[in-house]
Amino acid sequence: MMPMSSGRFFTSRLVVSALLMLCFASPLGAQDKSQPWWRHAVFYEIYPRSFADSNNDGLGDLRGITSKLDYLHTLGVDAIWISPCYPSPQFDFGYDVADYENIDPMYGKLADFDVLAREAHKRGIRVIMDFVVNHTSHQHPWFLESKSSRNSPRRDWYIWRDGKGPGQPPNNWESSFGGSAWTLDPTTGQYYYHYFEVQQPDLNWRNPAVEEAMFDVTRFWHKHGVDGFRLDAVDLLYEDPDLKDNPVLPGKNEFGDPKMTNKYNDNLPQVHDELQRLRKVTDANGQVLIGETWTDNIDELKAYYGPHQDEIQLPMDFLFTTVDKRSAPGFRKQIGLAESSGGWPVFVISNHDIVRSYTRYGDGQNNDQIAKLMAGMYLTLRGTPILYYGEELGMENHDPVRKEDVKDPLGQQGWPEQKGRDGERTPMQWTSGANAGFTQGTPWLPVDPAYSTHNVAFESKDTDSILNFYRLLLAMRHRSPALLDGDYIPVDQDDPNILAYLRRSGKETILVALNFSSSSQPFDIGQATHGVSRAKSSVLLTTSSTDVTVKGDKHTILLSPYAVFIARITP
């Protein structure tokens, strides 16, 4: 705590920023080198269509990403996850893969990827590929051969079944894009299964040849400098072999289909056996696995770590995104559940399938402040954070207003109840110039009108911007043993407005206090000292515009609405 005295002091954001730069100009202490690199890393998802366009055709590309590596390095990014850039007919914008071992010409060449990986590694940035493990494109050579004949050597690489009767699919399973999950192929008179689009047939992971072919994909990309994989739709690898009907629920879904529970084609136990085998292959190449692990509860999430921490190192905690807007008790509860999982937490607040956090959490008036609040939380928790491109700028959803403007097949089929995912995939905002500096051509999606002030060039010059807050926060994270490896210790778990916790490692203790309320809230630093005699606090970073006031033998901070307060506690 501050030395005992009467009076007050004012915390200026600009002064704190300058002090923070000095404070973290040299390491506070050595990192725990025994820990794997991904525990200390900050990941950054890049949607390649929308990040940077080097040839002005309106689409982002690999050379564009390479040109922005210095920006990512100065931001504080340690690894980039690149959404699919494989050859693809683009029915689902790359998540329908036609060749796992090449680059789609719209993004460049394999040689361009090699340059990207090499230049990233020069800057200490690892490269993660999006690995679409559940399905391929209907134009993949494997599927073309599989559909050619019932006697094809690759027939069993996909899931083919006879219908129940004329015009009747094998069971009631539904596609997540609407309609039946089964499509009749006239060539052989059988149905093939596709959890997603008709153009995305599911692989049959029960076939050892499929498993080995997919394992070989990881070995191929290892030779091209890939440090790991984000496993797309990993919970869907296995289906019930008897094709039992899923339980039907009352009502209709957004596509007008019956609601149902995917009991027999989602999150089956065999998925975990497969992941243990995949982990052995990637471990041999020093690669990390990140999981797109949609789960209903913390026990399901916990299972993805494996019984001996031998499955996915970094399963994403999407339960975090289900917390009610700006709820300190809600986030406190979910953090506690993640801490109880026994694995290394991976907190996510945005990605290419989720409405951007700036839009989802904002209140329409204090969105910039709330964006800093969310960053102050998920970048100081124990675990590995994954940023989504533009999150550091406060990019917001820019949704289409007419069906004819929708590019995403999910929106095309579900309109107007389902508007699709175009809104969270708009071009990265680099400058205040035309098309936000993304391209000199016509961008594939319209740029959000807010780009004039929410862009890299503009925010770099504004010391109080969201971007500079991220830069300061990430600099602090990288230099703090407590934030990298320390325990998570909740403080005052009954406070309805303020989420507060300590991060403690060795001799360093960091206090984080976050005001989730739209009004100023008092917070007593004394409760965070946990009995440390004559403890002192030194402010590292705050967005609060209010005073820190000494009242008798207590030190009460009055946190302004949606304020972030981070301090070091010392004896």
Catalytic residues: 232, 292
CA torsion 279-281-282-286 (nearest 10°) is: 120
Q: Helices in 229-295 by DSSP H: which ranges?
A: 270-284
Q: In terms of C-beta distances under 8 Å and separation of at least 24 residues, what long-range contacts does 487-495 make, across chains too? A: 487/382, 488/335, 488/339, 488/381, 488/382, 489/530, 490/332, 490/335, 490/336, 491/527, 491/528, 492/527, 493/332, 495/328, 495/523
CB 489 within 8 A of CB 501: yes
Angle subtended at Cα 20 by Cα 19 and Cα 25, rounded to the nearest 5 degrees: 105
Other Cβ atoms less than 10 A from the Cβ of 47: the count is 26
Give the span between the Cα atoms of 312 and 133, in whole angstroms: 14
Tokens 């095309």 -> residue: 412
Give the span between the Cα atoms of 84 and 98, in whole angstroms: 11
Give the span between the Cα atoms of 519 and 529, in whole angstroms: 25
Other Cβ atoms less than 10 A from the Cβ of 151: the count is 7
Structure tokens at 478: 């990288």
Other Cβ atoms less than 10 A from the Cβ of 67: the count is 16
Structure tokens at 218: 């990881």
For 419-563, strand residue ranges (E) read 487-491, 498-505, 508-515, 521-524, 536-542, 547-551, 554-559
What does DSSP assign to residue 375?
H
What does DSSP assign to residue 441?
S
Structure tokens at 442: 């016509």
Gap between the terminal Cα atoms of the chain: 8
In the chain, the largest separation of any two C-alpha atoms, in whole Å, equals 87
Give the span between the Cα atoms of 156 and 143, in whole angstroms: 10
